[in-house]
Amino acid sequence: MSDQTTFLNACRELLGETYVLTAAPDMAPFLTDWRDRFTGSALAVLRPASVEQVAGVLRACSQWAIPVVPQGGNTGLVLGSIPDASGTAVVLSLARLNSIRQVDAVNRTITVDAGCILQTIQEAAAAAGCLFPLSLAAEGSCTIGGNLATNAGGTAVLRYGNTRELCLGLEVVTPQGEVWSGLRGLRKDNTGYDLRDLYIGAEGTLGVITGAVMKLYPQPKASITALAAMASPAHALRLLGLMQDHCGASLTAFELMSTYCLRLVAEQFPQLPRPFAQAHGQYVLLELSSSQSEAHAIELLEASIGAALEQALIQDAVVASSVAQSEGLWQLREHIPLAQAQAGKNIKHDISLPISVIADFIALTDVALEAAFPGCQLVCFGHLGDGNLHYNVAPPLGMTDTIFLANQDAINRIVHDQVHASGGSISAEHGIGALKKADLARYKSPLELQLMRAVKQALDPQNIMNPGKIL
């Protein structure tokens, strides 16, 4: 028997025949990425149902030196959760580890399996009268293990932080198949190196996250949404400062959308609301939450918007007066990527910048792209409150997708060089995976790469954990 056959037999022994997928049609859904850009190949897809089974799989992988690609909901955007084309790796799906282990409403924590769907966790928290604030477009499909492995962001980062900030403890299976039980539900714990934050954001290259203790928050009594219109990104940034000064932690979302974004949405989804009669340069979707009452949220919002109008930071604003209106405003924001997809191909960038340089960054990068690709369409929107832009580029009218996409590297270079020069990050919330590995090598200092490699070598000396990702 070949080593691979021996390994697969060991896996069948461990998990049962049913949960060792090797037939092509069974494996297919696990091998193609969410945006349908790449299909890898695998020796098998393994579907353990418990931490002990995960540990057993890892021991077998270590013994036979089989590369392991951990996978949650497979909704990642950087080719981090699918294998390469070699067919030598196994995909380790965590989807069957999907129990809510404990909700502690007094400690305000929830302990979950890594394979729990994000939305399931939100619902379990709500059922206990609490808020689990992590929220992003894929929440109906993505798993918390994947959110942790990529340190997912989303729309509530401004108030509650990234996934990293929401996690108190982890359970991790090492590449050697040992179980580290770090499921601590503590707000303070200074007992040695921060292994938790090392595994968070490591995209499955250091070990397999199998469980986590996540923070819960009191549910706000009310939230209110508004859309403000202004002349420029610089005005939007000044509005951000004003809103934070006036509202503090009550400001729970602050999303920038360019005029082109809303025009695109209006073209592709004419049924959605059009809040303003005339066009403005930029728009900000903002949300206030109050721990007190709806009246308090409205009072706070009206006072802030009044001050912004007085200082001529904004040109107009609409405040949602019902849940339906609020959802309508959020739909404008959420339909931008969908409208882009319908309109044709585009080249996406998930970047972050110091908030103080964003207006300059947009101006400089717009000019540089226009010079290199006259008439290209800039779809700039994102989580302005976090300094995170989705700065996407669509082809000039008349250019075919094929010709446009042939220029992907050149376009990425213009955007990412400008990001780097501005002290920004080429991956704000999506991670590196296989997709941005070359960019990481280009922009990180040799020392930082060397430190990362030293950590990788220390924890995964066989290099079996998601090889070819990040480093």
| β strands within 90-221, DSSP E | 90-93, 100-104, 109-113, 130-131, 167-173, 179-182, 208-215, 217-218
Minimal distance, residue 290 CB to a copy of itself, in Å: 8
- Please give the size of the binding site for a copy of itself, defined by CB under 8 A: 92
Least spacing, CB of residue 324 vs a copy of itself, in Å: 25
Pair of tokens at residue 216: 């819960």
What 8-state DSSP symbol labels residue 231? S
Out of 426, 434, 435, 464, point to the residue binding a copy of itself (CB under 8 A): 426
Q: How far is the CB of 406 from a copy of itself (least distance, A)?
A: 26
Helix and strand element counts for the chain (H, E): 17, 18
Is position 189 an interface residue for a copy of itself (rule: CB under 8 A)? yes
Question: In the bound complex, what is the minimum distance in angstroms from residue 427's beta carbon to a copy of itself?
Answer: 5
Write the CB contacts of 272 (distance below 8 Å, at least 6 apart in sequence): 265, 266, 328, 331, 332, 335
- For a copy of itself, the binding residues in 337-356 under the rule CB under 8 A are 352-356
User: The sheet that has 90-93: what strands, in order across it?
Assistant: 20-21, 44-46, 90-93, 68-71
**Exposure string for 178-217, b = 16+ CB within 10 A, e = fewer:** ebeebbebeeeeeeeeeebeebbbbbbbbbbbbbbbbbbb
Out of 431, 434, 466, 468, the only residue in the binding site for a copy of itself (CB under 8 A) is: 431
Shortest distance in whole angstroms from residue 159 CB to a copy of itself: 8
Rule CB under 8 A: say whether 246 interacts with a copy of itself.
yes
What is the number of other CB atoms lying within 10 angstroms of the CB of residue 248? 10
Query: Contact with a copy of itself (CB under 8 A): which of 18, 271, 322, 445?
Result: 445
Interface residue with a copy of itself among 90, 261, 288, 470 (CB under 8 A) is 470
Residue 69 contacts a copy of itself per CB under 8 A: no
Question: Which position among 3, 26, 52, 178 is part of the footprint of a copy of itself (CB under 8 A)?
Answer: 178
Binding mask 196-215 for a copy of itself (x = CB under 8 A): -xx-xxx---x---------
Q: Of 470, 449, 435, 467, which is closest to residue 175 (Cα–Cα)?
A: 467
The interface with a copy of itself within residues 261-300 (CB under 8 A) comprises: 289-292, 300
Question: What is the amino acid identity at position 166?
Answer: L
Residues 223-242 that bind a copy of itself (CB under 8 A): 237, 241
Residue 222 binds a copy of itself (CB under 8 A):
no
The smaller minimum CB distance to a copy of itself, of residues 20 and 389, is found at 389
Q: Is 47 in the site for a copy of itself (CB under 8 A)?
A: no
Residues 364, 378 contacting (CB under 8 angstroms) = no
Q: How far is the CB of 429 from a copy of itself (least distance, A)?
A: 5
> Using the rule CB under 8 A, which residue among 48, 56, 70, 153 binds a copy of itself?
153
Give the Cα separation of 7 and 342 in Å (integer): 44
Cβ-based nearer residue to a copy of itself, 355 or 399? 355
User: Do the Cβ atoms of 444 and 470 come closer than 8 Å?
Assistant: no
Provide the b/e sequence for 36-64 (b: ≥16 CB within 10 Å): eeeebebbbbbbbbebebbbbbbbbbbeb
Tell me which DSSP letter residue 206 carries: S
Encoded one letter per residue, x for contact with a copy of itself by CB under 8 A and - for no contact, window 100-119 reads ----x-xxxx----------
* Sole binder of a copy of itself in the list 2, 18, 191, 322 (CB under 8 A): 191
- Kindly tell me which residue out of 250, 258, 340, 418 binds a copy of itself, with binding defined by CB under 8 A: 250
For residue 288, the surrounding DSSP H or E stretch is: strand 282-290
